[in-house]
Structure 1
Amino acid sequence: MSIIQINTLSHRFADGSLGLDHVSLALNEGELSVIAGANGSGKTTLLRHLNGLLVAQSGDVRVCGLSVKKDPSAARRLVGMVFQDADSQIVGETVYDDVAFGPENLALPRDEIDQRVSRALAAVDLCGFENKRPHYLSGGEKRRLAIAGVLAMRPKVLLMDEPFSNLDFPATVRVLDQILELHQNGHTIVITTHDLEKVIAHTQRLVIMAKGRVVQDGHPEKIIHGIQDYGIRPPCSVQLGRGIRPWAS
């Protein structure tokens, strides 16, 4: 069942360049989908349309049947986004304050806010960090804090833009584990990346973008070969002729 429906979506930037060119796509509830492409392919631009950070100039995006253009506030409650730069998403002086920021802006009762913060921090394994200052956290901890801030809003869909960017190996494994656990617990997750190595073995859906268009869409095993033609490096296991295998195995 589709939770997000994108119909002939186009977007042109202020300088006149085309960011999205008649993109049509249906994203399914409960699915872990990966949108891959070279830099400038339109991945992030597409993601920003799904929760109203960018408004459709042409075409339409619907979340749970609701038009994002007509009601962007409702879209942001249904679809949460974790940005590539976690620091840009951190607003609180403490970890608790940062995760509580969204629920507080919903004017929820304090006990409901406390409950949401506790559950969100538990989901990303940051219990006990409540009084720490976010800017002293490691890169991986900041990324998980950003995820917690989104989870506290209880969205139906979680968007992640390059979630492994600038992380070392241990932090990448930790973030990947959190993503997989969230998916197993029923979250619909959409990840953008130009590096498939880390997540390809765990996704049921691979969408390839190039020059603002969707050029491939399907099960990873069926479309992984030939992705280098779109400026995407194939996973090492594929290059060695072993098919898709878990990255951290």
Structure 2
Amino acid sequence: MLSRLRDNIVTIIETVDLIHTFGDGTKALKKVNLTFKEGEFTVITGANGSGKTTLLKHFNGLLFPASGKVLVCGRSVAEKPMSARQNVGMVFQDADSQIVGETVYDDVAFGPENLRLDRSEIDRRVGLALGDVDLSGFEEKSPHNLSGGEKRRLAIAGVLAMNPRVLVMDEPFSNLDFAATRMVLKQVLKLHQNGHTIIITTHDLEKVLFHAERLVVMDKGEVVDDGRPATVIENIGRYGVRPPCSVLFERGLQPWEI
């Protein structure tokens, strides 16, 4: 799997000395330099307030740098935000915040309709996106009557209907039970196998780390480690992130002893 990290793979997202400052003067990101290759499956972790979500919002122009730059497909996000949003689709932690339609069909169709596509193309994209997340047959259901896991998958479908090259997900397993977590993870892995670049933020590594090719650790707005998960996980506890149970079992330790 790590063959995807070869130098000849196309760079799809790059941050160069990225700094973001909140209105009160707090530096949320401090000279972040990261490169994401096309087809990678990356997990970004860190304690609450480490800058994970703030970083993601720069990838599709929801936020812009105070200094430094973010490039998507070689183009500056600050200069070409619409291009970034076409290439990078983001699924937020709160799936309800992304629901805009009265029916599942309407919700997924919202993005393509705003692209002014013809109805046949919209129908095609909606059908494909719902099929990708196992929600075919849900078209006429109300999104607000779906389960938490189904809402998360609907949010993914809404992003997929825009045909992005990169799928960015902020804490995708938050507030989901075991069954819903398995279903969402299944869809994410399917999308990765089909060629999508996947970037996930989470502080709960247990559910997804086994499938990742790369682990990035953030602490107080900085990247403090970056590499193969098996290597990076060795020091994860010092940054306020609980190691997966497998690591604890191997060492015979309690979580507070890492």
Q: TM-score, with normalisation over the residues of structure 1?
A: 0.96
Matched AA of 1:24: N
1:145 maps onto 2:154 in alignment = yes
Matched AA of 2:111: G
Distance, in Å, in 2 between the alignment partners of 1:181 and 1:229 is 33
Name 2:61's counterpart in structure 1. 52
Matched AA of 2:209: I
Distance, in Å, in 2 between the alignment partners of 1:91 and 1:223 is 39
Q: Pick one of 177, 182, 194 that aligns with 2:191.
A: 182
Q: Pick one of 64, 76, 79 that aligns with 1:67.
A: 76
Superposed CA deviations along residues 215-248 of structure 1, whole A, max 9, x for unmatched, are 0000001110110100000000011118xxxxxx
Distance, in Å, in 1 between the alignment partners of 2:75 and 2:235 is 36
Q: Pick one of 101, 116, 139 that aligns with 1:107.
A: 116
Matched AA of 2:16: N
Distance, in Å, in 1 between the alignment partners of 2:195 and 2:250 is 33
Superposed CA deviations along residues 127-164 of structure 1, whole A, max 9, x for unmatched, are 00000000000000000000000000000100000000
Distance, in Å, in 2 between the alignment partners of 1:162 and 1:128 is 27
Name 2:11's counterpart in structure 1. 2
Distance, in Å, in 1 between the alignment partners of 2:15 and 2:138 is 38
Aligned-pair Cα RMSD in Å? 0.7
Q: Pick one of 146, 150, 166 that aligns with 2:175.
A: 166
1:221 maps onto 2:238 in alignment = no
Distance, in Å, in 2 between the alignment partners of 1:56 and 1:40 is 18
Matched AA of 2:158: G
Matched AA of 2:112: P
Distance, in Å, in 1 between the alignment partners of 2:44 and 2:176 is 19
Residue segments in structure 1 that go unaligned for 5+ positions in a row: 243-249
- Per-residue deviation at 1:202? 0.2
Q: Pick one of 96, 101, 107 that aligns with 1:87.
A: 96
Distance, in Å, in 2 between the alignment partners of 1:160 and 1:209 is 16
Superposed CA deviations along residues 170-207 of structure 1, whole A, max 9, x for unmatched, are 00000000000100010000000011000000000000
- Per-residue deviation at 1:80? 0.4
Distance, in Å, in 1 between the alignment partners of 2:233 and 2:84 is 32
Name 1:40's counterpart in structure 2. 49
- Per-residue deviation at 1:113? 0.1
Q: Which has the larger displacement, 196-205 or 12-21?
A: 12-21
Distance, in Å, in 2 between the alignment partners of 1:2 and 1:197 is 28
Name 2:128's counterpart in structure 1. 119
- Per-residue deviation at 1:18? 1.2
Poorly superposed stretches of 4+, deviation over 4 Å: none
Distance, in Å, in 1 between the alignment partners of 2:235 and 2:216 is 13
Matched AA of 1:43: K
Distance, in Å, in 1 between the alignment partners of 2:204 and 2:16 is 27
- Per-residue deviation at 1:77? 0.4
Q: SS at the partner of 1:84?
A: coil
Q: TM-score, with normalisation over the residues of structure 2?
A: 0.93
Q: SS at the partner of 1:238?
A: helix
Name 2:207's counterpart in structure 1. 198
